[in-house]
Chains A and B, each alone.
Chain A
Amino acid sequence: MRKGVRTANQVRQVGRGGRGRALRRGTALLMVLLAAAAGRAAAQVDTIPGAVRHLGVVYESYVPTLAISPFTGRFGGLTVAPRVEAVIARDLRYSDRFEMMDSIPLAPGGGAVDYGLWDQFGADWLVTGQVEGLGNRFVLVLELHDVVFSEVKERARFSLPRPDAEDFRMAIHAISDDVVRWITGEPGMAASRICFSMESAAGSQELYVVDSDGENLRRLSNFNSLTMSCSWSPDGSRLAFLSFASGDPAIHEMEIATRQTRVLDFNRAGQPMTPVYHPNGEEIIFSLADGAESGLFSWRVREDCCLWRLTAGRWNDLSPSFSPDGRRLAFNSNRLGVAIPQIYVMPAESGGRPDLVSPYLYGQGGYYTSPDWAPSGDRVAFHGRYRRGSYHILIADVAAQGQRLLQLTYEGNNEDPSWAPDGRHLVFVGERDWGFGLFVVDTVSGRIRPVLSGVRPRVPDWSPSLASTEAPTREN
């Protein structure tokens, strides 16, 4: 049972107790999580219609234990080593893929790895690191040890940016994602950012960006006008967004590195909203409210031309989100009634009939908006409420057309989910009794952590992995 509660202390206790690996991988975790989920579900009435599972947690069969030995330093590297270790340790904890054993007092560091000792501690994996000074820069030598097989699984040298450089932390995040890939074969999400809008000190709503771990909050725009609904280009270099910066509401595109911004001029009346990039990076799809009609349109960004209508009707279609292969679109529409917006998916080439994926029941109301298609391709996240309940984050199985849903939040109000590049985490805006913030939920364990609080963020969008552009040079 103790394994279900993942505080570092208890993990350490379990580790020191030298309990068998089989026990640690046992079903206790499942029991605890399911019991917790069932308890919360039972207490929750009138949230989501009965066809939906009130299950916020999925059992993951095996959560390996990962230990981090205190990083060592050579040639002046010790001044930087603790910072590097701290970022990597937090990234690996936030990946939610491991039971973490880090910050261990008196843990053996340096010298040859005593696999027997780490095995007694209960570690499946061990990360060791050494930071070497090299002139005025530093190199991290990182090793991943497979404790079970008593061998070095991966070894790499990373050249780090200068510690006072703006990209220092992001470079270490990229290394953390390498460790995740070494162990799981899956992408991480540490080397990524989240864009969103919020009110600036001057009182206008501007664009901001923050690292995936809540550090490094920066303002990107200074338009002195309402600016929102940012969306990352697939290569992570540009943002599309709605702004009133030029007076009239218009879709803008910003080159992030230079902050250079241009207005997309569709030469057409109506208010454009909710832009999003096609996975090919060459088109932007957005909603245009145009007279009594509204619809989804596409625009070729590179050629700066060719308005193309995808949907039309005397209702609102908005907040489009592409499937990863670009062949289907999820979007929000109030075609069933202005007070009952629902989530639909349809072929991206217009003409196909949209299918409902939110849990609409005739005459039962329900309000579901802000879809975001998962990188895995089979699920769409969105938020909504049933009748007059609270707003919660939900995930729908696309193939099941609203009949299979996971509810991920049970507290406060929760809006605007956006998938992390690891396809496993979602960021959303949460409202709690203490205020608003950006939260991240692990869709596998159900764990929720605030990444930015004390501010009122709006409509976050999680970037693709920035590891390829921000990664430190790997030297071997």
Chain B
Amino acid sequence: MLHRGLIISVVAAGLFVASCGQEELPPPPPPPVEEGPNQDSIDAARRAAEEAARRAAEEEARRAAALEAAREALTAMVFFDFDMAEIRSDAEGVLQRKVDVLRASPAVQLRIEGHADERGSSEYNLALGSRRAEAVRQFFVNAGLPESRFDVRSYGEEQPREMGSNEQSWAQNRRDEFVITAGGNQIQVPGGGQ
């Protein structure tokens, strides 16, 4: 889901750039008109103003999309193998994007919530969820982020996303979820938001 969001925003940004480029082609020369030069300059000024407003709106939309992408990066889930609390290789990219946003946004604090699938005992799954949450906090700490920015907890197997009793559901339920507990309005887009 996150991947798709990112891709869409990247593609959208690309289209923006492309369309901006087209707009900057020299406008076709105005047809000769009989009216006075004053009207020409008024039109030109108006067009320039409209262009500036449009660019500002586009810039604002682009920033909003980037911000949304950063927020999504922060809350994107990561998934685990059965009975394991090791970070999977497919989770490393997801976590690295979180690290990038967290580095750019020092006010943001995260709660990491570990979950397990329904197999095994309820109490052991609490411990397993706690290890899964802790594994991610350790990833962040190893990336140089202060431990105090993260709160970890486990809901064990008690709050599944998918109710099915099959591998497809279980795979979705062995996860860490992320909740922004502070600084949600001070998220900065990595790379200065340019």
Q: A residues bordering B, Cβ < 8 Å?
A: 205, 226, 228-229, 242, 244, 248-249, 271, 273-274, 287, 289, 291-292, 294, 316, 318-319, 332, 334, 338-339, 341, 367, 369-370, 383, 391, 415-416, 458-459
User: B105-129: which have CB < 8 Å to A?
Assistant: 120-124, 126-128
8 contacts between A and B (CB under 8 A): A229-B123, A229-B126, A248-B153, A274-B123, A289-B152, A318-B124, A334-B127, A459-B122
Q: Are A415 and B158 in contact (CB under 8 A)?
A: no
Encoded as 1 (CB less than 8 Å from any A CB) or 0, chain B from 121 to 154 comes to 1111011101100100010000000010000111
**How long is the Cα–Cα vector from A244 to B158 in the complex, in angstroms?**
12
Is residue B155 contacting chain A, with contact meaning CB distance below 8 A?
A: yes
Q: Which residue of B lies closest to A293 (CB)?
A: B134
For chain B, which range describes its interface: under 10, 10 to 19, 20 to 34, or 35 or more residues? Answer: 20 to 34
User: B147-194: which have CB < 8 Å to A?
Assistant: 147, 152-155, 158-159
Q: SS class of chain A's interface: helix, strand, loop or mixed? A: strand
Known: A292-B138, A339-B83. 13 other contacts (CB 8 A): A271-B153, A274-B123, A289-B127, A289-B131, A289-B134, A316-B124, A318-B124, A319-B124, A341-B124, A370-B123, A415-B122, A416-B123, A458-B122
Q: Are B158 and A416 in contact (CB under 8 A)?
A: no
User: B76-112: which have CB < 8 Å to A?
Assistant: 82-85
Q: Are A370 and B124 in contact (CB under 8 A)?
A: yes
Q: Which residue of A lies closest to B155 (CB)?
A: A226
Across the interface, B123 reaches (CB within 8 A) one of A205, A292, A332, namely: A332
Q: Are A383 and B158 in contact (CB under 8 A)?
A: no
Q: B residues bordering A, Cβ < 8 Å?
A: 82-85, 120-124, 126-128, 130-131, 134, 138, 147, 152-155, 158-159
Q: Are A367 and B127 in contact (CB under 8 A)?
A: no
Q: Are A338 and B134 in contact (CB under 8 A)?
A: no
Q: Are A228 and B158 in contact (CB under 8 A)?
A: yes
Q: Given known contacts A289-B130, A316-B127, is B153 in contact with A228 (CB within 8 Å)?
A: no
**How long is the Cα–Cα vector from A294 to B133 in the complex, in angstroms?**
13
**How long is the Cα–Cα vector from A292 to B120 in the complex, in angstroms?**
22
Q: Are A338 and B128 in contact (CB under 8 A)?
A: yes
**How long is the Cα–Cα vector from A341 to B159 in the complex, in angstroms?**
22
Query: Which of B85, B124, B158 gathers the greatest number of chain A CB atoms within 10 Å?
Result: B124
Q: Which residues of A contact B154 (CB under 8 A)?
A: 249, 271, 273, 289
Q: Are B138 and A273 in contact (CB under 8 A)?
A: no
Query: Which of A274, A289, A332 gathers the greatest number of chain B CB atoms within 10 Å?
Result: A289
Q: Are B153 and A416 in contact (CB under 8 A)?
A: no
Q: Are B124 and A369 in contact (CB under 8 A)?
A: yes
Q: Which residues of B contact A226 (CB under 8 A)?
A: 155, 158-159
Q: Which residue of A lies closest to B165 (CB)?
A: A431
Q: Are A370 and B121 in contact (CB under 8 A)?
A: yes
**How long is the Cα–Cα vector from A370 to B85 in the complex, in angstroms?**
20
Across the interface, A369 reaches (CB within 8 A) one of B84, B120, B152, namely: B120
In the assembled complex, the CB of A311 is this many whole angstroms from the nearest CB of chain B, namely 13
Q: Which residues of A contact B152 (CB under 8 A)?
A: 271, 289
Q: Which residues of B contact A289 (CB under 8 A)?
A: 127, 130-131, 134, 152, 154
Q: Are B127 and A459 in contact (CB under 8 A)?
A: no
In the assembled complex, the CB of A272 is this many whole angstroms from the nearest CB of chain B, namely 10
Query: Which of B127, B128, B130, B154 gathers the greatest number of chain A CB atoms within 10 Å?
Result: B127
Q: Given known contacts A271-B154, A292-B138, is B121 in contact with A415 (CB within 8 Å)?
A: yes
**How long is the Cα–Cα vector from A370 to B124 in the complex, in angstroms?**
8
**How long is the Cα–Cα vector from A319 to B125 in the complex, in angstroms?**
11
Q: Which residue of B lies closest to A269 (CB)?
A: B151
Q: Given known contacts A338-B83, A338-B85, is B127 in contact with A228 (CB within 8 Å)?
A: no
In the assembled complex, the CB of B16 is this many whole angstroms from the nearest CB of chain A, namely 42
Q: Which residue of A lies closest to B132 (CB)?
A: A338
Across the interface, B126 reaches (CB within 8 A) one of A273, A292, A391, A416, namely: A273
